[in-house]
A and B are shown apart, each in its own frame.
Chain A
Amino acid sequence: MSPHERPVAASVTVTADDVQRLCEFLYRRTGMLFDGSKRYYIDRRLTERILATRSNRFDEYFAHLRSDAEHEIEHLINAFTVNETYFYREDHQLRCMTSNLLEDIVLRRSSDEPIRIWSLPCSTGEEPYSIAIWLMENWPAVDRYDIEIVGSDIDTRALKAASEGIYGERALMRLTKSIRERYFRPLPDGNLQIDPGLRDSIRFTKANLIETPSMNEYRNIDIVFCRNVLIYFDDASRRMAAENIYDCLRPGGYICLGHSETMSRISSLYQVCRFPDAIVYQKPEADDGNR
């Protein structure tokens, strides 16, 4: 029988050992780390992928995954990151920004330069707009400083959508009614559009994380949000992205990754910072020659 004729199992069970093996593999390949509390979530996603690849059991699927046939690793990562973007996604990092990072940044400021925050990749704009709205809603000092927010992506269609700032219910689901009223206006088709003032105050640019010349145009950034993208890269590209971002950051600047991500070869470039709401990575302030 050819693979396409093989009957698909109606259901598949995965054992704790299977999940363990999968998580170890995923960690080595992507840096993604899952703790024990994610067990049910992983079971479900894994079972979906086993069925989607017409594998009859875990070991068959695992062999398929190891060979990365048909880009299965990418499909698996997509399944785990819930590849959707929406406002206030992973807001614990936004909270970390207003509770801890900004305090440190303003303390160390030596000039009146604006505070620069970069969302990269910004996709269709939910993240940079979320940063802006969150700041205005939650940072008491927001009126005391000039803040520059940039959203960048490699995808020009996404950037165009981001500058238009039109969103439907799925993207808006975590926003309260009062926030929607304050920052959006309704459109005839039922979608909401970000107010022109806010739309115009965010710069959307094309940039490629792993292309050094592209990244060299950005300097003195205080915070970079680079979430759920490094996990898709191979090792060399991941390292280049980390080096590129390093050069874009001001000394003492921060980078926020996605919730389950860890950054490899981290010790030479960044220091791990544990705050109540998030783990972030910091570019050292002074070059003591050891970094």
Chain B
Amino acid sequence: MATAETKGRRARILVVDDSSLVRLYYLSALEKAGFVVEQAINGIEATEKVLDQDFDVLIVDVNMPGMDGISFVKDLRRRNEDVAALPVLMITTEAGEQDFADARAAGANYYLVKPVSEADLIRHVSALAGWAR
């Protein structure tokens, strides 16, 4: 059964997506499931929050204006800090092999295709939060 607890406390999730509607959708689903959720509108705000606070899982949309999700994750993996190892769930609109390969190559741990159901979201986030132990 999916659990929102990790290390004996509620897992903290950062949602990175330029769409406020999508962020709201994930936020409602995640909070209902017992996670603590923060949001970021772009890679820069996300970088700031990731360096300021502890997170267990990042959910990152691929298609963001300014700094796309793949570039953001690549940049994260380049940093010589704990953040480089943060579990990342990448969300994209394509189901092709190349996108999956690109996401993995950038350093994403898992990959979901939009539209994402609440159940799929919770299941994958819970699994990644468990890996953060």
Known A20-B20, A264-B65, A265-B66; contact A274-B45, beta-carbon cutoff 8 A = no
CA distance A266 to B71 in the complex (A): 10
Which chain B residues lie closer than 8 Å to A274 at the CB level? 47-48, 51-52
A62: min CB distance to chain B, Å? 15
Residues of A within 8 A of B42 (CB): 262
A271 within 8 A of B: yes
- Say if the beta carbon of B31 comes within 8 Å of chain A: no
Question: Smallest Cβ distance from B24 to chain A, in angstroms?
Answer: 10
Q: Once the chains bind, are B44 and A24 in contact (CB under 8 Å)?
A: no
Give the dominant DSSP class at A's interface.
mixed
Q: Which residues of A contact B71 (CB under 8 A)?
A: 267
* Docked-complex contact A263 and B44, CB < 8 angstroms: yes
A33 near B41 (CB under 8 angstroms)?
yes
Bound Cα distance A266, B45 (Å): 12
A27 to B66 CA separation, bound complex (whole angstroms):
11
The reply on A279 being an interface residue by CB < 8 A is yes
Q: Is B82 an interface residue (CB 8 A)?
A: no
Contact A262-B45, Cβ < 8 Å, known A267-B75, A274-B51: yes
Secondary structure call for the B interface:
helix
Q: Quick one: which of A28, A265, A271, A272 has the most chain B CB within 10 A?
A: A272
Given A20-B20, A264-B65: A279 touches B75 (CB 8 Å cut-off): no
Asked whether A272 and B47 contact (CB < 8 A) given A264-B65, A264-B66, the answer is yes
Contact with A along B17-50 (1 / 0, CB 8 A): 0001000000000000000000001111101100
What is the CB-to-nearest-CB distance from A242 to chain B, in angstroms, rounded to a whole number? 12
**Bound CA span A166–B45, Å:** 39
Known contacts: A20-B20, A267-B75. The answer to whether A272 contacts B66 by CB under 8 A is: no
- Digitize A258-291: 1 where CB-to-B-CB distance is under 8 Å, 0 elsewhere: 0000111111000110100001000000000000
With an 8 A cutoff between CB atoms, is B132 at the interface? Answer: no
Closest B-chain residue to A263, C-beta based? B44
Interface residues on A, range: 10 to 19
In the complex formed, the residue of A with least CB distance to B45 is A33
Contact (A266, B67) CB under 8 Å given A24-B20, A33-B41, A271-B75: yes
Q: What is the distance, in angstroms, from A282's C-beta to the closest C-beta of chain B?
A: 12
User: A267-B67, A267-B71, A274-B52 known; A262 and B20 CB under 8 Å?
Assistant: no
Given A266-B66, A267-B71, A274-B52, residue A279 in contact with residue B20 (CB < 8 A): no
Contacts of B20 in A (CB 8 A): 20, 24
7 A-B pairs in the complex with CB atoms less than 8 angstroms apart: A28-B65, A266-B44, A267-B43, A267-B72, A272-B47, A274-B51, A274-B52
**Chain B residues proximal to chain A, CB less than 8 Å:** 20, 41-45, 47-48, 51-52, 65-67, 71-72, 75
Residues on A lying within 8 angstroms of B by beta carbon are 20, 24, 27-28, 33, 262-267, 271-272, 274, 279
**Can you add 13 more A-B contacts, CB < 8 Å, to A262-B44, A265-B66?**
A20-B20, A27-B41, A33-B45, A263-B44, A265-B67, A267-B43, A267-B71, A272-B47, A272-B75, A274-B51, A274-B52, A279-B44, A279-B48
